[in-house]
Structure 1
Amino acid sequence: MTFVTCDLCDDNADSVCVVTGLNWLSYGGRDAFGGEIVTVKCFEDNSRVKEHLGTDGKGKVLVVDGGGSLRNALIGDMIAENAVKNGWEGVIIYGACRDVDALAKLDIGVITLGCVPIKSVRRDEGQLNIEITFGGVVFRPGEFVYADNNGIITAPKALV
Protein backbone atom coordinates (compact mmCIF):
# COMPACT_ATOMS: atom_id res chain seq x y z
CA MET A 1 0.00 0.00 0.00
CA THR A 2 1.54 3.27 -1.13
CA PHE A 3 0.11 6.64 -0.17
CA VAL A 4 0.94 9.98 1.41
CA THR A 5 -1.57 11.31 3.94
CA CYS A 6 -1.08 14.84 2.58
CA ASP A 7 -2.32 13.69 -0.83
CA LEU A 8 -5.21 11.74 0.70
CA CYS A 9 -6.26 14.90 2.56
CA ASP A 10 -6.01 17.02 -0.60
CA ASP A 11 -8.04 14.54 -2.63
CA ASN A 12 -10.66 13.85 0.07
CA ALA A 13 -10.88 17.09 2.05
CA ASP A 14 -14.61 16.73 2.61
CA SER A 15 -14.45 13.25 4.13
CA VAL A 16 -11.23 12.84 6.13
CA CYS A 17 -10.60 13.70 9.77
CA VAL A 18 -7.08 14.58 10.92
CA VAL A 19 -5.78 13.55 14.34
CA THR A 20 -4.37 16.72 15.91
CA GLY A 21 -2.75 18.03 19.06
CA LEU A 22 -0.57 15.01 19.85
CA ASN A 23 3.11 14.31 19.19
CA TRP A 24 3.16 10.83 17.68
CA LEU A 25 6.31 8.76 17.36
CA SER A 26 6.75 5.98 14.81
CA TYR A 27 8.54 2.85 16.04
CA GLY A 28 7.58 0.11 13.60
CA GLY A 29 9.34 -1.00 10.45
CA ARG A 30 6.68 0.52 8.17
CA ASP A 31 6.64 4.28 7.64
CA ALA A 32 3.16 4.22 6.12
CA PHE A 33 0.25 1.91 6.82
CA GLY A 34 -3.50 1.89 6.75
CA GLY A 35 -6.58 -0.24 6.82
CA GLU A 36 -9.88 -0.99 8.46
CA ILE A 37 -10.16 0.26 12.04
CA VAL A 38 -10.43 -2.24 14.89
CA THR A 39 -10.49 -0.68 18.37
CA VAL A 40 -9.50 -1.47 21.94
CA LYS A 41 -10.02 0.73 24.97
CA CYS A 42 -7.87 -0.13 27.97
CA PHE A 43 -5.77 1.52 30.66
CA GLU A 44 -2.34 0.11 31.49
CA ASP A 45 -3.63 -3.42 30.76
CA ASN A 46 -2.75 -4.89 27.38
CA SER A 47 -4.82 -8.08 27.72
CA ARG A 48 -7.22 -7.07 24.91
CA VAL A 49 -4.37 -5.74 22.73
CA LYS A 50 -2.57 -9.08 22.93
CA GLU A 51 -5.82 -10.98 22.38
CA HIS A 52 -6.84 -8.97 19.31
CA LEU A 53 -3.41 -8.98 17.66
CA GLY A 54 -3.48 -12.77 17.98
CA THR A 55 -6.35 -12.90 15.47
CA ASP A 56 -6.42 -12.42 11.69
CA GLY A 57 -5.60 -8.79 10.94
CA LYS A 58 -5.20 -8.76 7.17
CA GLY A 59 -6.03 -5.25 5.96
CA LYS A 60 -6.66 -3.98 9.49
CA VAL A 61 -5.15 -1.48 11.93
CA LEU A 62 -5.62 -1.80 15.68
CA VAL A 63 -6.34 1.59 17.25
CA VAL A 64 -5.92 1.60 21.02
CA ASP A 65 -7.15 4.20 23.49
CA GLY A 66 -4.72 3.64 26.34
CA GLY A 67 -5.77 6.83 28.09
CA GLY A 68 -2.53 8.52 27.05
CA SER A 69 -0.60 6.72 29.79
CA LEU A 70 3.16 6.53 29.43
CA ARG A 71 3.60 4.49 32.63
CA ASN A 72 3.19 1.02 31.07
CA ALA A 73 3.78 -0.25 27.54
CA LEU A 74 0.74 -1.68 25.77
CA ILE A 75 2.81 -3.37 23.04
CA GLY A 76 6.32 -4.77 22.83
CA ASP A 77 8.29 -7.01 20.52
CA MET A 78 6.53 -10.31 21.28
CA ILE A 79 2.99 -9.00 20.78
CA ALA A 80 4.10 -7.08 17.66
CA GLU A 81 5.76 -10.21 16.22
CA ASN A 82 2.47 -12.05 16.70
CA ALA A 83 0.65 -9.20 14.95
CA VAL A 84 3.00 -9.51 11.96
CA LYS A 85 2.36 -13.28 11.81
CA ASN A 86 -1.38 -12.55 11.76
CA GLY A 87 -1.16 -10.00 8.94
CA TRP A 88 -1.93 -6.76 10.80
CA GLU A 89 -1.01 -3.58 8.90
CA GLY A 90 -0.27 -1.55 12.00
CA VAL A 91 -1.07 -0.41 15.51
CA ILE A 92 -1.80 3.12 16.74
CA ILE A 93 -1.70 3.50 20.51
CA TYR A 94 -2.75 6.52 22.54
CA GLY A 95 -0.23 5.31 25.11
CA ALA A 96 3.22 3.71 25.15
CA CYS A 97 5.24 0.87 23.65
CA ARG A 98 8.55 -0.80 24.53
CA ASP A 99 11.28 -2.86 22.82
CA VAL A 100 11.66 -0.08 20.26
CA ASP A 101 14.81 -1.43 18.59
CA ALA A 102 13.07 -4.75 17.91
CA LEU A 103 9.87 -3.00 16.73
CA ALA A 104 11.88 -1.07 14.13
CA LYS A 105 12.89 -4.37 12.49
CA LEU A 106 9.33 -5.69 12.12
CA ASP A 107 7.16 -5.30 9.01
CA ILE A 108 4.37 -3.48 10.79
CA GLY A 109 3.50 0.12 11.57
CA VAL A 110 3.62 1.07 15.25
CA ILE A 111 2.77 4.62 16.29
CA THR A 112 2.50 5.64 19.94
CA LEU A 113 2.91 8.67 22.17
CA GLY A 114 6.23 7.36 23.48
CA CYS A 115 8.07 4.43 24.96
CA VAL A 116 8.75 3.08 28.43
CA PRO A 117 10.57 -0.11 29.49
CA ILE A 118 7.84 -1.17 31.93
CA LYS A 119 5.49 -3.93 30.78
CA SER A 120 1.75 -3.76 31.08
CA VAL A 121 -0.17 -5.30 33.92
CA ARG A 122 -2.71 -7.93 32.90
CA ARG A 123 -6.07 -7.80 34.63
CA ASP A 124 -8.07 -9.13 31.67
CA GLU A 125 -9.76 -5.74 31.29
CA GLY A 126 -10.60 -3.60 28.29
CA GLN A 127 -13.30 -3.09 25.69
CA LEU A 128 -13.27 -4.24 22.07
CA ASN A 129 -14.68 -2.62 18.95
CA ILE A 130 -16.27 0.43 20.50
CA GLU A 131 -16.00 4.03 19.33
CA ILE A 132 -12.98 5.69 20.92
CA THR A 133 -11.87 9.32 20.81
CA PHE A 134 -8.49 11.02 21.04
CA GLY A 135 -6.68 13.73 19.11
CA GLY A 136 -10.01 15.32 18.21
CA VAL A 137 -11.13 12.30 16.17
CA VAL A 138 -13.68 9.55 16.77
CA PHE A 139 -12.30 6.17 15.65
CA ARG A 140 -15.15 3.93 14.54
CA PRO A 141 -14.71 0.20 13.97
CA GLY A 142 -15.19 -0.59 10.29
CA GLU A 143 -14.05 2.83 9.08
CA PHE A 144 -10.49 3.39 7.82
CA VAL A 145 -7.29 4.92 9.17
CA TYR A 146 -4.10 5.92 7.36
CA ALA A 147 -0.82 6.90 8.98
CA ASP A 148 2.57 8.03 7.75
CA ASN A 149 5.30 10.44 8.83
CA ASN A 150 2.97 13.37 8.08
CA GLY A 151 0.20 12.32 10.43
CA ILE A 152 -2.85 10.16 11.03
CA ILE A 153 -6.20 10.51 9.25
CA THR A 154 -9.49 8.63 9.25
CA ALA A 155 -12.15 8.21 6.59
CA PRO A 156 -15.55 6.52 6.49
CA LYS A 157 -14.53 4.48 3.43
CA ALA A 158 -11.32 3.06 1.96
CA LEU A 159 -9.20 5.69 0.21
CA VAL A 160 -6.46 3.41 -1.11
Structure 2
Amino acid sequence: MKDLLPDLCDYYAQDIRLLPLTLRDYGCNSPFWGQIVTLRCFEDNSLVRDLLSIDGSGKVLFIDGHGSCRRALFGDQLALLAIKNNWQGIIVHGAIRDVEILAQLPLGIKALAACPIKTDKRQMGENNVVLNIADTPIYPNDYIYADLNGIILASKALDLSVLKTEP
Protein backbone atom coordinates (compact mmCIF):
# COMPACT_ATOMS: atom_id res chain seq x y z
CA MET A 1 0.00 0.00 0.00
CA LYS A 2 1.65 3.21 -1.18
CA ASP A 3 -0.82 5.62 0.47
CA LEU A 4 -0.48 4.34 4.01
CA LEU A 5 -0.93 7.59 5.94
CA PRO A 6 -4.47 8.54 4.86
CA ASP A 7 -5.82 5.21 6.10
CA LEU A 8 -3.77 5.37 9.31
CA CYS A 9 -5.02 8.91 9.97
CA ASP A 10 -8.62 7.83 9.41
CA TYR A 11 -8.39 4.76 11.62
CA TYR A 12 -6.11 6.13 14.36
CA ALA A 13 -7.20 9.80 14.40
CA GLN A 14 -6.97 10.03 18.21
CA ASP A 15 -3.64 8.19 18.46
CA ILE A 16 -1.46 10.05 15.98
CA ARG A 17 0.07 13.48 15.55
CA LEU A 18 1.03 15.06 12.27
CA LEU A 19 4.48 16.48 11.63
CA PRO A 20 3.47 19.65 9.75
CA LEU A 21 6.69 19.92 7.80
CA THR A 22 7.10 19.54 4.06
CA LEU A 23 10.00 17.21 3.32
CA ARG A 24 11.02 15.84 -0.05
CA ASP A 25 11.23 12.11 -0.69
CA TYR A 26 14.66 10.96 -1.84
CA GLY A 27 14.70 7.23 -1.18
CA CYS A 28 13.28 4.33 -3.14
CA ASN A 29 11.18 2.91 -0.28
CA SER A 30 7.84 4.50 0.44
CA PRO A 31 6.03 4.00 2.69
CA PHE A 32 8.38 3.31 5.58
CA TRP A 33 7.94 3.22 9.34
CA GLY A 34 9.61 2.19 12.56
CA GLN A 35 10.64 3.09 16.07
CA ILE A 36 12.31 6.50 16.28
CA VAL A 37 15.97 7.01 17.08
CA THR A 38 16.76 10.72 17.45
CA LEU A 39 19.91 12.71 16.78
CA ARG A 40 20.47 16.46 17.02
CA CYS A 41 23.52 17.77 15.19
CA PHE A 42 24.48 20.93 13.33
CA GLU A 43 26.51 20.64 10.13
CA ASP A 44 28.43 17.67 11.58
CA ASN A 45 27.41 14.11 10.69
CA SER A 46 30.01 12.23 12.76
CA LEU A 47 27.37 10.76 15.05
CA VAL A 48 25.16 9.80 12.09
CA ARG A 49 27.79 7.26 11.03
CA ASP A 50 28.09 5.99 14.60
CA LEU A 51 24.33 5.39 14.92
CA LEU A 52 23.97 3.80 11.48
CA SER A 53 26.77 1.37 12.36
CA ILE A 54 24.50 -0.43 14.83
CA ASP A 55 21.55 -2.70 14.07
CA GLY A 56 18.60 -0.59 12.96
CA SER A 57 16.03 -3.35 12.45
CA GLY A 58 12.57 -1.81 12.76
CA LYS A 59 13.99 1.68 13.34
CA VAL A 60 13.95 5.09 11.64
CA LEU A 61 16.68 7.65 12.34
CA PHE A 62 15.37 11.21 12.71
CA ILE A 63 18.21 13.73 12.36
CA ASP A 64 17.59 17.31 13.46
CA GLY A 65 20.11 19.40 11.58
CA HIS A 66 18.39 22.59 12.75
CA GLY A 67 17.00 23.01 9.24
CA SER A 68 20.40 23.96 7.85
CA CYS A 69 20.87 23.29 4.15
CA ARG A 70 24.49 24.53 4.01
CA ARG A 71 25.98 21.05 4.60
CA ALA A 72 24.68 17.57 3.77
CA LEU A 73 24.15 15.39 6.83
CA PHE A 74 23.45 12.23 4.80
CA GLY A 75 24.63 10.76 1.50
CA ASP A 76 25.23 7.57 -0.46
CA GLN A 77 27.91 6.05 1.79
CA LEU A 78 25.79 6.50 4.91
CA ALA A 79 22.77 5.12 3.05
CA LEU A 80 24.70 1.96 2.17
CA LEU A 81 25.69 1.61 5.84
CA ALA A 82 22.04 2.06 6.88
CA ILE A 83 20.90 -0.62 4.44
CA LYS A 84 23.65 -3.00 5.60
CA ASN A 85 22.44 -2.56 9.20
CA ASN A 86 18.72 -2.93 8.41
CA TRP A 87 17.49 0.63 9.06
CA GLN A 88 13.98 1.27 7.71
CA GLY A 89 14.46 4.93 6.95
CA ILE A 90 16.18 8.24 7.53
CA ILE A 91 14.50 11.61 8.03
CA VAL A 92 16.68 14.72 7.94
CA HIS A 93 15.59 18.15 9.10
CA GLY A 94 18.37 19.53 6.95
CA ALA A 95 20.17 18.61 3.73
CA ILE A 96 21.36 15.42 2.06
CA ARG A 97 23.47 14.73 -1.04
CA ASP A 98 24.03 12.08 -3.74
CA VAL A 99 20.33 12.26 -4.57
CA GLU A 100 20.45 10.31 -7.83
CA ILE A 101 22.07 7.33 -6.11
CA LEU A 102 19.77 7.59 -3.07
CA ALA A 103 16.72 7.41 -5.34
CA GLN A 104 17.78 3.92 -6.38
CA LEU A 105 18.50 2.48 -2.92
CA PRO A 106 15.98 0.39 -0.92
CA LEU A 107 15.67 2.84 1.95
CA GLY A 108 13.08 5.41 2.98
CA ILE A 109 14.64 8.88 2.94
CA LYS A 110 13.07 12.29 3.52
CA ALA A 111 14.88 15.63 3.84
CA LEU A 112 14.38 19.36 3.41
CA ALA A 113 16.74 19.74 0.44
CA ALA A 114 19.93 18.65 -1.26
CA CYS A 115 23.37 20.22 -0.87
CA PRO A 116 26.61 18.89 -2.42
CA ILE A 117 28.87 20.07 0.43
CA LYS A 118 29.93 17.56 3.09
CA THR A 119 29.87 18.31 6.81
CA ASP A 120 32.63 19.06 9.22
CA LYS A 121 33.68 16.19 11.50
CA ARG A 122 33.79 17.41 15.10
CA GLN A 123 32.05 14.49 16.88
CA MET A 124 29.38 16.91 18.08
CA GLY A 125 25.70 16.24 18.63
CA GLU A 126 23.23 14.57 20.96
CA ASN A 127 21.38 11.32 20.43
CA ASN A 128 18.33 9.89 22.17
CA VAL A 129 16.95 13.37 22.93
CA VAL A 130 13.50 14.88 22.44
CA LEU A 131 13.47 16.98 19.28
CA ASN A 132 11.11 19.84 18.54
CA ILE A 133 10.45 20.17 14.81
CA ALA A 134 7.74 22.53 13.50
CA ASP A 135 6.36 22.86 17.06
CA THR A 136 5.98 19.08 17.19
CA PRO A 137 7.84 16.97 19.77
CA ILE A 138 9.70 13.96 18.36
CA TYR A 139 10.28 11.47 21.17
CA PRO A 140 12.90 8.72 21.06
CA ASN A 141 11.26 5.27 20.97
CA ASP A 142 7.94 6.61 19.63
CA TYR A 143 6.89 5.41 16.17
CA ILE A 144 7.01 7.24 12.88
CA TYR A 145 5.14 6.51 9.66
CA ALA A 146 6.08 8.19 6.38
CA ASP A 147 4.91 8.10 2.78
CA LEU A 148 4.44 10.58 -0.07
CA ASN A 149 1.58 12.18 1.92
CA GLY A 150 3.82 13.24 4.81
CA ILE A 151 4.80 12.04 8.27
CA ILE A 152 2.78 11.03 11.33
CA LEU A 153 3.93 10.07 14.82
CA ALA A 154 2.46 7.76 17.46
CA SER A 155 3.45 6.91 21.01
CA LYS A 156 2.99 3.18 20.29
CA ALA A 157 3.22 0.95 17.24
CA LEU A 158 0.08 1.06 15.12
CA ASP A 159 -1.50 -2.23 14.02
CA LEU A 160 -1.36 -2.12 10.21
CA SER A 161 -3.49 -5.24 9.86
CA VAL A 162 -6.61 -3.16 10.60
CA LEU A 163 -6.22 -1.35 7.29
CA LYS A 164 -8.05 -2.30 4.12
CA THR A 165 -4.95 -3.67 2.46
CA GLU A 166 -1.76 -4.47 4.31
CA PRO A 167 1.36 -2.70 3.02
Smaller-chain TM-score bracket? over 0.9
Unpaired stretches in structure 2, ≥5 consecutive residues: 161-167
Where does residue 121 of structure 1 map in the other structure? 120
Where does residue 8 of structure 1 map in the other structure? 8
What fraction of aligned residue pairs are identical, expressed as a percent? 45
Where does residue 105 of structure 2 map in the other structure? 106
Secondary structure of 1:52's counterpart equals helix
TM-score, reference length from structure 2: 0.92
The aligned amino acid for 1:17 is: R
Cα deviation 1:73-127 (Å, max 9, x = unaligned): 0000000100000000000010000000110111101100000000111100000
The aligned amino acid for 2:46 is: S
Q: CA deviation at 1:133?
A: 1.0
Q: Note if contact 2:36-2:143 (Cα within 8 Å) is conserved in structure 1.
A: yes
Where does residue 45 of structure 1 map in the other structure? 44
TM-score, reference length from structure 1: 0.96
Where does residue 82 of structure 1 map in the other structure? 81
> After the TM superposition, which segments of 4 or more aligned residues of structure 1 sit over 4 Å from their partners?
none
Where does residue 165 of structure 2 map in the other structure? none
Distance in 2 separating the partners of 1:77 and 1:106: 9
Unpaired stretches in structure 1, ≥5 consecutive residues: none
How well do the aligned residues superpose, as a CA RMSD in angstroms? 1.2
Where does residue 67 of structure 1 map in the other structure? 66
Q: CA deviation at 1:136?
A: 2.7
Q: Number of residues paired by the alignment? A: 159
Q: Summarize the alignment of residues 9-24 of structure 1 with structure 2, pairs less than 5 Å apart.
A: 9-20=9-20, 22-24=21-23
